[in-house]
Structure 1
Amino acid sequence: MNARPRVRVLLPLPLADAYDYRVPAGLEVVPGDIVLVPLGKREELGVVWDGAADPALPERKLRDIVGRLDAPAMTGSLRRFVDWVAQYTLSPPGAVLRMALSSPSALEPQPLQPGWTLAEPPEAARLTESRRRVLALLAPGAVVAGTALAEAAGVSAGVVRGLADAGFLRPAPLPRGRAFAYPAPDHPGPALAEDQRAAAETLRASVAARGFAVTLLTGVTGSGKTEVYFEAVAEALRAGRQALVLLPEIALSAQWLDRFRARFGVAPALWHSELTSRTRRVTWRAVAEGEAKVLVGARSALFLPFPDLGLIVVDEEHETAFKQEEGVVYHARDMAVVRARLAAASCILVSATPSLETLTNAETGRYAHVHLAQRHGGAAMPDVAALDLRRHPPERGRFLSPPLIEAVAATFARGEQAMLFLNRRGYAPMTLCRTCGHRMQCPNCSTWLVEHRAQRRLQCHHCGHSEAPPETCPKCDAPHSLVPIGPGVERVLEEAIALWPDARRLVMASDTIPGPAAAAEAARAISAREVDLLIGTQIMAKGWHFPHLTLVGVVDADLGLAGGDLRAAERTIQLLHQVAGRAGRESARGSVLLQSFSPEHPVMQALVSGDLDGFMRAESAQRRPGHWPPFGRLAALIVSSEEERAADRTARDLGAAAPHGDGVQVLGPAPAPLALLRGRHRRRLLLKTRRDIAVQPLLREWLARVTVPNAVRVQVDVDPVGFL
């Protein structure tokens, strides 16, 4: 008797490899097929994976595939992408596959909705006028829902049921309608300026070539980069291929969606965490069947099953929101380039302030580079000035300096809008006792509790712990001795109310703009001039276009420069330049005032002079000698445990087993800046190598030399962007 064929099946579980299964008689499967297989006492979904099964595995250890699902098979390029991400991030392939099978219900048979169609009419049947109206609406072979039929004929549902009982109608399944309308590539969009047309032509040519290519699209804020890359999306549509656009804050993309509708006539498919399970199911299936032609999504959209992906756009490519920090740790910008290569697609990275890694790739010729030097429509770049807080200090207990207050008042007097930016939520970042100095700290994290005065709570922004402000100090029992230290946006709002009581104000932070509907309403109110003063955090920096906003005041421009983060200066200049770019985007010239205690800092000087290129060249020159990214490679090991001693022991063992050699250096172990996070004690080690040394083999050998207890977790972060 011939042995039945065997295949490898990868399960969406944190397993190191695929499992071998037998293919039962009468079933044929090929790599990519989605199947149901037994695992222990339960059944699991899996994907038939590439590669040969182990012929040495005894027959008695094999179990049969239960069946194949009637769902689109996973493409070869997506299977290769899953394997690539797993290898690069040192993650179990099954954990990566789970992201690609993120909507299991979409794999189940989709129920058909019932309708009615014409049957053979019975002989000598008597028809009333209402019945005649119903039958007149049905063409031969057409299927219509009963409720729609009754409504169109102006009759009750009972009349339709009566026709069925009399034999005039028979039940039939309704044909599935399209879940998403097709965007029209030739729908008339906004007129492009000459430099925009030239840039768009370059991007269109890249997509039309139907091969892998990466292009960096840069341009000053307000130069119309979005409208330019829309032309690349249109080219992908003309070629019959799909397009994916990644945004860092998809839930706050109301204005971007308006621009898309204006260009293509319809809305794109969306993919983000706030979608309902039904919408996720419908969208996943529409992507897999090629029906969703353009999808805009968060980083997880990279793992959707596009059958013919022709273009990936990463908008605001410098944003750290593209880094996934939990589970499989990956950077969506970098993985987008890989996905495009495996799909023979074009990839466009977009930013007014690109990351040093991307700039270096463009300068060395790995990426093409297209630049828009002018704001669209003749608008000028805003004037930027630094306010030295040592020379112009705010009043005691206040946070806005006199020159900034005067500038805001003058803006209101001209009937224009102003923005006060502070990248700090809540009322105050710290609360302490003025009697004994005790600071209110999170019990689960080594961080201070942030006061949210409007909700009367102290909250940790890392683990979500929340408590009411105590009446007495928890340490010394002094009554009413707890005072707020430093400003958050709520405190700036309080100061603004006192200064400009008649101004109409709007606070934009993740607490107050929780999702797409709130973002859309905020954008509408601002554009309709129902708001005079915006006060907010970094969510105001991302792509907003407010025609009447002419003044941006940065309350604490030095905020991001503290600490020893490798990218602190780069991130700060990116954020502040993006925020500054909200000012003066139409005819009225904008101005930006940066409150700083260090106006001589290179970041402030670059922002004032507008010489971002010079700043990035200097930043590059500082990193190159020490082989810091992008001129070297980094990988972090984060050791964590609920038991502090266990974390320390494992970190020490890893430190003793650390790799050595020319061009290889290990820093640590050391307590992480957030040494306690969500109840887990954390220690960090950092592997640094030359650019020509791959870190993955070193990491695998290193981890294999150390036995990690069950109570300890070691997370690997290849190419870390943060160091908390």
Structure 2
Amino acid sequence: MPDAILRIALPSPLRRLFDYRAPPGVPRSALQPGARLRVPFGRRELIGILIEVTDHSEVPAGKLKPALQLLDAQSPLPPALFKLCLWTAQYYQHSLGDTLSWALPVLLRQGEPAEVRQERFWHLVDGARLDDPRLSRAPRQREALQTIAQHPHGVAHQLLGQLQLNKDSLGQLREKGLVRVEIRRHAASERHLNWLAEPELPLNPEQRAAAEAVRTGFGRFNAFLLAGVTGSGKTEVYLQLIRETLEAGKQALVLIPEINLGPQTLARFERRFNARIALLHSGVNDRERLDAWLAARDGEADIIIGTRSALFTPMQRPGLIIIDEEHDASYKQQEGLRYHARDLAVVRAHQENIPILLGSATPSLESLHNAHSGRYAMLHLHQRAGGAQQPRFLRLDVKSRPL
């Protein structure tokens, strides 16, 4: 059998694939499309995505370089997200390698493992004694051993500073065989049987009609435009639809236009739901973003909240996409891969066969056109929620008034 030729998409503006030989010692069966590889590229090393394995190349065999390292046993990108990236690269005329790189968290672009964070826990070794003679002249080590003994389930490495535990002392205790280190997978928060942490607000007739229209579209692709005046209770409609999505065992993706809305949106969702919520935007650090991305991919996050780039967050059980303030210009990416997150969200919902709800007090002209042409179902909220009254407006002729 001829040597395997790898066709790899690299983060480059060139809209083409690059051919490499397989890394030394890596069998053909281990090379799965979507996996990341570290490859030489000029004087640099880049992280690329394997697109296909073939037996032929237009490049002479003698000029083909071997890839340096296979980073994944399987693709970190689920098939649905991979398909979305292919569509995005073609529609926006952008290089496939750059598009795939854009869809990955920064740490995955840099070659970090696509695995949930591992945590170190310090434990007392069975049979270890506080009166061990080797500690007679090591008071700090004895104090550290006593603290560890008070935590039968172990002490997380990240909490050592808070417990005033000295890492050097623990290292010496480990050399003496008195403590041990256990590596655990980062634990996801517990799934609750009752999703509501607080009661839902009553819906007025318009809100109920809007929620019912979206509810009947569950389980298949439908696009809805919810046009509601300020204070009409669009968010309460979102929350009740998300609760039904969670009860169906599905995940919900909520896009917001600005980073500044993240904390208040997260706080409101946390008050309402006993759910595992992932927050993704440029304000969180790279490690937190990767953890949230992986939690969503593995189905450990029930609700994903983020700005435009969160559109590329994988979901194991997609059920609903919500775009809040869909008219906002912040959904347009203006550098690198130029795309509109609102429009791509509709494409993603269609590909994954789930409903999408676009909400705004001032819908964009594009969305209004789609609603009037029948592509979107139009939903209206004319009244303010909770009995609130519309503001009164008075017209004053100020021409004759003093400045």
Bin for the TM-score computed over the shorter chain: 0.7 to 0.9
Query: Mapping of 1:641-660 within 5 angstroms?
Result: none
1:117 corresponds to 2:123: yes
Q: Contact (CA 8 Å) 1:212, 1:347: kept in 2 or not?
A: yes
Q: 1:151 to 1:315 in 2, by over 3 A?
A: closer
CA distance in 1, matches of 2:172, 2:13: 56
CA distance in 2, matches of 1:147, 1:384: 57
CA distance in 2, matches of 1:381, 1:51: 63
1:365 corresponds to which residue? 374
1:234 corresponds to 2:243: yes
CA distance in 1, matches of 2:263, 2:150: 44
Let me know the Cα RMSD of the aligned residues: 3.6
Q: 1:50 to 1:333 in 2, by over 3 A?
A: farther
1:96 corresponds to which residue? 99
CA distance in 2, matches of 1:81, 1:392: 61
For residues 148-196 of structure 1, give each alpha carbon's deviation from its aligned partner in whole angstroms, at most 9, with x where no partner exists. Answer: 68988x9998997786565343222244233x77686333343222423
1:167 corresponds to 2:170: no
Equivalent in 325, 328, 332 of residue 316 of structure 1? 325
For residues 374-418 of structure 1, give each alpha carbon's deviation from its aligned partner in whole angstroms, at most 9, with x where no partner exists. Answer: 2111112222345556x45662xxxxxxxxxxxxxxxxxxxxxxx
**Deviation, structure 1 residue 315:** 0.7
For residues 264-283 of structure 1, give each alpha carbon's deviation from its aligned partner in whole angstroms, at most 9, with x where no partner exists. Answer: 15684322233333433433
Query: Mapping of 1:578-589 within 5 angstroms?
Result: none
For residues 592-613 of structure 1, give each alpha carbon's deviation from its aligned partner in whole angstroms, at most 9, with x where no partner exists. Answer: xxxxxxxxxxxxxxxxxxxxxx
**Deviation, structure 1 residue 370:** 2.8
**Deviation, structure 1 residue 336:** 0.9
Letter matched to residue 45 of structure 2? E
Query: Mapping of 1:1-400 within 5 angstroms?
Result: 2-24=1-23, 25-27=25-27, 28-49=30-51, 55-70=57-72, 73-105=76-108, 107-109=111-113, 112-121=118-127, 134-135=148-149, 137-138=151-152, 142-145=153-156, 164=174, 167-178=177-188, 185-195=195-205, 196-207=207-218, 209=219, 211-265=220-274, 268-387=277-396, 391=399, 395=403
Q: Contact (CA 8 Å) 1:37, 1:66: kept in 2 or not?
A: yes
CA distance in 2, matches of 1:230, 1:270: 16
Q: Contact (CA 8 Å) 2:280, 2:289: kept in 1 or not?
A: yes
CA distance in 2, matches of 1:234, 1:143: 36
When the two structures are aligned, how many residues end up with a matched partner?
Answer: 386
TM-score computed with the length of structure 1 as normaliser: 0.47
Letter matched to residue 193 of structure 1? L
Partner-residue secondary structure (3-state), 1:177: coil
CA distance in 2, matches of 1:156, 1:22: 48
Letter matched to residue 119 of structure 1? V
> Which structure exhibits the higher relative contact order, with contacts defined as CA atoms closer than 8 Å and separated by 6 or more residues?
2
Query: Mapping of 1:488-527 within 5 angstroms?
Result: none
Q: Contact (CA 8 Å) 1:185, 1:235: kept in 2 or not?
A: no
Partner-residue secondary structure (3-state), 1:258: helix
**Deviation, structure 1 residue 330:** 2.0
**Deviation, structure 1 residue 68:** 2.2
CA distance in 2, matches of 1:327, 1:122: 57
Partner-residue secondary structure (3-state), 2:155: coil
CA distance in 1, matches of 2:51, 2:168: 53
Q: Contact (CA 8 Å) 1:12, 1:101: kept in 2 or not?
A: no
CA distance in 2, matches of 1:320, 1:53: 46
**Deviation, structure 1 residue 45:** 0.7
Q: 1:376 to 1:168 in 2, by over 3 A?
A: same
2:139 corresponds to which residue? none
TM-score computed with the length of structure 2 as normaliser: 0.81
CA distance in 2, matches of 1:157, 1:89: 52
Partner-residue secondary structure (3-state), 1:234: helix
Letter matched to residue 19 of structure 2? D
1:608 corresponds to which residue? none
CA distance in 2, matches of 1:34, 1:73: 8
**Deviation, structure 1 residue 334:** 0.9
CA distance in 2, matches of 1:201, 1:72: 38
**Deviation, structure 1 residue 26:** 3.0
For residues 15-38 of structure 1, give each alpha carbon's deviation from its aligned partner in whole angstroms, at most 9, with x where no partner exists. Answer: 202222233443312122122222
Partner-residue secondary structure (3-state), 2:270: helix
Letter matched to residue 202 of structure 1? A
2:138 corresponds to which residue? none
**Deviation, structure 1 residue 228:** 0.7
CA distance in 2, matches of 1:15, 1:300: 22
For residues 45-69 of structure 1, give each alpha carbon's deviation from its aligned partner in whole angstroms, at most 9, with x where no partner exists. Answer: 1111258675444322322232222
Q: Contact (CA 8 Å) 2:331, 2:340: kept in 1 or not?
A: yes
Q: 1:272 to 1:186 in 2, by over 3 A?
A: same
CA distance in 2, matches of 1:145, 1:276: 21
Q: 1:380 to 1:41 in 2, by over 3 A?
A: same
